[in-house]
């Protein structure tokens, strides 16, 4: 869980359903990893060198998007933080932009924790129940292996039986 992200959380939850990890630890570590990453990006935006941060924001987001995000952030910080965190490719520049804005850290942290916990709950639940479904399917796949193996054996036996019977019939026909 050193690498935060939905894929890591999903795989860890899948592993928890197989009994490798504890699902509650997976949820806690996934949420903490998500929140710590958000806080780091927030502080990069807040305390980073202004020119470096502004250059990164300009390169990552066009100025109209930056202006829109700042406007949304003033009107509704919760929805804006949720949208930034859940939009692919937007979290890193978006969270840096949020850090460089005038939002209070306490407000940012509240919304970040709220969105992160809900998001991690969903991803971990999907991973966990996918693992349970995998276990159920694996039981039936085991039976399918037996069926396929049995069909192959029956096919081979049938081939040799037909070959044996056709030789016998052929030998009798040649004697006539």
Quickly tell me which residue has 């490719």 as its tokens: 89
Model pLDDT for residues 67-95, shown as the tens digit of each residue = 777 788 888 999 989 988 888 888 888 88
Model pLDDT for residues 3-62, shown as the tens digit of each residue = 678 889 999 999 999 999 999 999 999 999 999 999 999 998 888 877 676 676 667 667
Q: List the Cα angle 148/150/154 in 5-degree steps.
A: 115
pLDDT of residue 1: 54
Q: Span 158-167, mean pLDDT?
A: 85
Asked if the model's pLDDT at residue 119 lies above 90, the reply is yes
Residue with the bigger pLDDT between 164 and 2: it is 164
User: Predicted confidence band at 107 (pLDDT cuts at 50, 70, 90)?
Assistant: very high
- Where along the chain do its domains lie? 6-135
> How far apart are the C-alpha atoms of 156 and 5, rounded to whole Å?
50
pLDDT of residue 27: 93
pTM for the model = 0.71
Report yes or no: 45 and 99 within 8 Å, Cβ to Cβ: yes
pLDDT of residue 141: 77
Report yes or no: 116 and 85 within 8 Å, Cβ to Cβ: yes
Q: List the Cα angle 147/151/156 in 5-degree steps.
A: 150
CB neighbour list of residue 77: distance below 8 Å, 6 or more residues apart: 103, 107, 108, 111
């Amino acid at each position: 869980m050193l690498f935060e992200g939905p894929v890591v959380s999903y795989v860890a939850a899948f592993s928890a359903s197989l009994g490798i990890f504890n699902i509650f630890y997976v949820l806690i570590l996934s949420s903490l990893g998500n929140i710590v990453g958000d806080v780091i990006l927030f502080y990069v935006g807040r305390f980073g060198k202004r020119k470096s941060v502004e250059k990164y924001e300009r390169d990552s987001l066009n100025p109209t998007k930056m202006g829109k995000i700042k406007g949304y952030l003033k009107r509704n910080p919760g929805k804006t933080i949720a949208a930034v965190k859940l939009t692919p490719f937007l979290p890193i520049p978006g969270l840096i932009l949020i850090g460089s804005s005038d939002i209070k850290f306490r407000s940012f942290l509240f919304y970040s924790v709220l969105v992160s916990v809900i998001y991690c709950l969903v991803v971990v639940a999907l991973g966990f129940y996918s693992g349970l479904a995998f276990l159920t399917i694996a039981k039936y796949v085991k039976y399918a292996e037996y069926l396929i193996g049995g069909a192959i054996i029956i096919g081979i036996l049938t081939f040799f039986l037909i070959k044996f019977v056709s030789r016998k019939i052929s030998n009798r026909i040649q004697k006539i």
